[in-house]
């Protein structure tokens, strides 16, 4: 009986050892699964939070010049008379560089040759240094290109009509759009 008893004890020890190893493997698998699930949830929440963040409007990049306002801050710094001078300079530059300004797209205002001509005119009329005038115009165009084109169309349409009316040159002009 001793031999049978020893075999039974040995079998029971083997069985308990296997159960312990299986439990250990199950716990290890459970830990890995929990870590993976937590990581997946964290990633999902981060992606959802990023999708809900408001997007930032893009402003054309302008090299920073000391003492000169950036394009983003320059647009808020345009006074009414500066807006009028900017519209005038941009419409004039557009007319000199685009064959049919009436069909110009808003991107035509950002064309380097149009911007260069307009900036020179705007700098002279507003007594600003050229880099500052360029920066201010770029910011203004980035935010108001469609309104500027509408203003150009109105001033072109009214200039053709008023030139044919006697005494119309002494009449007040149509105000520019901001």
Residue 11 predicted with pLDDT over 70: yes
pTM more than 0.75 = no
Residues 6 or more apart whose Cβ sits within 8 Å of residue 90 = 109, 114, 118, 122, 137, 141, 148, 152
DSSP characters over the chain: -HHHHHHHHHHHHHHHHHHHHHHHHHHHHHHHHHHHHHHHHHHHHHHHHHHHSPPPPP-------TTS--HHHHHHH--HHHHHHHHHHHHHHHHHH-S-GGG--GGGGG-HHHHHHHHHHHHHHHT--HHHHHHHHHHHHHHHHHHHHHHHHHHHHHHHHHTTSTTGGGSPPPPPP-
Q: Is the CB of residue 94 less than 8 Å from the CB of residue 162?
A: no
* Angle (nearest 5°) at CA 134 between 131 and 137: 150
Between CA 69 and CA 133 the distance in angstroms is 9
- Report the percent of the chain where pLDDT is more than 90: 15
Q: Of 124, 139, 121, 117, whose CA–CA distance to 68 is shortest? A: 139
Condensed to tens digits (0 to 9), the pLDDT of residues 24-33 reads 777 777 788 8
Between CA 150 and CA 135 the distance in angstroms is 22
Condensed to tens digits (0 to 9), the pLDDT of residues 71-100 reads 444 445 688 888 889 989 998 998 888 888
Q: In the chain, where are the structural domains located?
A: 1-53, 71-161
């Amino acid at each position: 009986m001793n031999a049978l008893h020893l075999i039974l004890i040995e079998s029971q020890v083997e069985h308990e050892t296997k159960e312990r190893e299986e439990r250990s493997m199950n716990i290890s698998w459970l830990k890995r699964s929990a870590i993976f699930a937590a990581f997946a949830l964290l990633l999902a929440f981060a992606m959802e939070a990023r999708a809900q963040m408001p997007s930032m409007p893009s402003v054309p990049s302008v090299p920073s010049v000391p003492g000169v306002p950036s394009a983003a801050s320059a647009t808020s710094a345009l006074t009414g008379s500066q807006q009028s001078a900017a519209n005038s300079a941009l419409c004039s530059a557009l007319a000199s560089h685009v064959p049919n300004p009436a069909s110009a797209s808003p991107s035509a205002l950002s064309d380097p040759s149009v911007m260069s001509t307009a900036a020179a005119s705007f700098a002279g009329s507003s007594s600003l240094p050229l880099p500052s005038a360029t920066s201010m115009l770029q910011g203004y165009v980035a935010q108001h290109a469609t309104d500027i084109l509408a203003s150009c169309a109105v001033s072109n349409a009214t200039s053709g009509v008023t030139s044919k009316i006697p005494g119309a040159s002494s009449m007040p002009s149509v105000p520019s759009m901001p």
